[in-house]
Amino acid sequence: MRGCSGIFFCDLDGTILPHGRKTVDQAFFDLVRRAQDKGYCFCISSGRYHQSLLSFFKDVENDLIFSASNGCRILHKGTDLIEPHRMEYSTVQAILADFARWDVIPLLSTLNGFYVRADHRDHPRVAALLERDYTHVYKDPSEIPDAMLQMTALCRGNRDELLIKAKERYALDLHVFSTGVQLFDICPTNKGESLKEIRTLLKVREKDSWAFGDDENDLSMLRSAGKGYLMNNAATHLHDQGFEIIDDLIETIDNIIIKHNFQP
């Protein structure tokens, strides 16, 4: 991207988009344009599948970088900026077996679409996903393309217990973190690694990067930025991680732009 001297990495759900809201406020789109005029760019970093993520930003889609599936896929103007991070086939099969044993609902992000199991189609959250044209149904795991980006577990009231088990089994080689109500993700990278890749690609210095988030999957991103900000609505146990806690994303970014000096 031309003219990007500084970059803001922003989570979507709970950060740009308050919980319960269906659309991004026009004030954020106006912020993007104001910031661009000053030499800043934005990356929207989310655990969402890329087509779900892009749907919120149609007005400014070509002005943004998107880090989808927790950094597994990084896009600008519909093109991969960096080779997507994929999971090994044998690992995918092992995790699917664990998901079956744990009685969770698999939500699978691949390069070729979003996949849900046929026998879960009546679950309300799965039914909502099936309304999207990028969601596919599988009956047998052999029907899932060997192009897995991220595997999400939708739990049945026991997320915290199963998250511990998943971390014990997979955290040495993969990234495992909570991402929403009764959800946790397993993927080959994280938002922090994505941030570093994008910053290197754009030749932006660490001091000229900022990150904003509200959940466990955002912590690596907040740590990797020049400065990380945690939204006040984040879970209480995240408030002691050493980040500045804020209420107003747009006001904070506007203040950074006013005060920041790009000089060494």
In a domain, 112, yes or no: yes
Among 157, 187, 217, identify where a domain stops.
187
Same domain? For 136 and 223 the reply is no
In a domain, 1, yes or no: no
pLDDT reported for residue 2: 62
For residue 169, the enclosing domain spans 89-187
pLDDT reported for residue 213: 97
Same domain? For 203 and 76 the reply is yes
Domain count, the chain: 2
In a domain, 153, yes or no: yes
pLDDT reported for residue 1: 64
Same domain? For 100 and 160 the reply is yes
Q: What are phi and psi of 47, to 5 degrees?
A: -80, -10
Same domain? For 80 and 198 the reply is yes
CA angle 76, 82, 83 (to 5 degrees): 125
In a domain, 218, yes or no: yes
Whether 35 contacts 258, CB under 8 Å? no
List per-residue pLDDT tens for the chain, 264 residues long.
666 999 999 999 999 998 878 999 999 999 999 999 999 999 999 999 999 999 999 989 999 999 999 999 999 999 999 999 999 999 999 999 999 999 999 999 999 999 999 999 999 999 999 999 999 999 999 999 999 999 999 999 999 999 999 999 999 999 999 988 899 999 999 999 999 999 999 999 999 999 999 999 999 999 999 999 999 999 899 999 999 999 999 999 999 999 998 876
Same domain? For 181 and 199 the reply is no
Among 166, 187, 208, identify where a domain stops.
187
Same domain? For 79 and 103 the reply is no
* Whole-prediction pTM: 0.95
Same domain? For 183 and 239 the reply is no
If phi > 0 it is left, if psi is from -120 to 50 it is alpha, else beta; for residue 174 that is beta
CA angle 226, 243, 9 (to 5 degrees): 45
pLDDT reported for residue 97: 97
CA angle 185, 90, 117 (to 5 degrees): 55
Whether 102 contacts 94, CB under 8 Å? no
Among 170, 187, 204, identify where a domain stops.
187
Q: What are phi and psi of 225, to 5 degrees?
A: -75, 165
3-state SS class at 60: coil
CATH number of the domain to which 30 belongs: 3.40.50.1000
CATH number of the domain to which 170 belongs: 3.30.1240.10
